[in-house]
C-alpha cells in the first residue's frame, strides 16, 4: 500500500484507501497540506509523518492545541499552537501560507469549531482541492445547515463510514 501507516492508525475507519485513491494523482506535485489536530493521542504525529513520506514535494502545515507542539516542526513541516476555533489566527496563518490543496480536520470533532475552521479555510482551497473532516458523528437529520453550506461552496460531498463515525470529503 502507498500508505504504510494504515495499520497504525485510522485502519478501523478505512480512511486510507479513500485518501490513497483521491490523492495519488498529485502525489509528486508541489503543494500545501493543512492539518488540524497534529500531535494525536500518543504524541506521535502519525498522520504528519505519513503525509510527509507519501508526498515528497508537499509542504505540511499543522495546528494543534497541545502546548509545545511546535517542537515537531521540521524543514517541511510547520506546526503551530492554535485552536481551530480561532478565526483570526486561522486567517492570519492561511494568508501567510497561501493556497491549500488538502485540508484535513482531525481536530476537536466539535461541530461549532469544525464550521469555524471550514468557513475560514475553504476560500484558501485550490479548485479541485480536498477538504476532509474526520471522525464526525452522524448529524441530526433535522439540521440541514451543514448541507446548505456545502452546496453554497459548490463542493462535492462523499460520506465514508458507518454510523456513528464518518469521514466527509469535499472536493472543490
Which helix (DSSP H) or strand (DSSP E) does residue 161 occupy? none
Give the list of residues 6+ apart from residue 10 with CB closer than 8 angstroms, or none. Answer: 16, 47, 134
Estimate the crossing angle of helix 87-97 against helix 111-121, to 10 degrees: 30
Do 3 and 20 meet the contact criterion of CB atoms below 8 Å apart? yes
Active site residue 78: no
Tell the residue number behind the cell numbers 514535494, with chain if given.
Answer: 57
Which residue from 102, 171, 156, 137 is spatially nearest to 13, judged by alpha carbons? 137
Give the active site residue among 17, 91, 109, 171.
109
Active-site residues: which are they? 109
Amino acid at each position: 500500500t502507498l500508505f504504510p501507516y494504515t495499520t497504525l492508525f485510522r485502519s478501523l475507519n478505512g480512511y486510507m484507501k479513500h485518501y490513497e485513491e483521491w490523492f495519488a494523482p498529485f502525489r509528486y506535485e508541489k503543494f500545501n497540506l493543512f492539518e488540524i489536530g497534529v500531535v494525536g493521542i500518543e504524541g506521535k504525529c502519525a498522520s504528519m509523518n505519513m503525509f510527509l513520506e507519501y508526498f515528497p514535494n508537499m509542504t505540511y502545515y499543522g495546528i494543534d492545541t497541545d502546548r509545545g507542539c511546535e517542537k515537531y516542526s521540521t524543514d517541511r513541516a510547520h506546526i503551530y499552537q492554535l485552536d481551530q476555533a480561532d478565526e483570526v489566527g486561522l486567517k492570519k496563518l492561511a494568508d501567510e501560507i497561501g493556497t491549500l490543496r488538502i485540508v484535513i480536520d482531525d481536530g476537536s470533532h466539535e461541530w461549532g469549531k469544525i464550521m469555524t475552521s471550514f468557513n475560514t479555510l475553504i476560500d484558501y482551497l485550490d479548485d479541485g482541492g480536498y477538504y476532509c473532516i474526520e471522525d464526525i458523528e452522524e448529524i441530526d437529520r433535522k439540521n440541514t445547515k451543514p448541507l446548505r453550506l456545502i452546496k453554497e461552496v459548490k463542493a462535492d460531498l462523499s460520506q465514508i463510514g458507518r454510523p456513528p463515525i464518518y469521514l466527509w470529503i469535499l472536493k472543490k
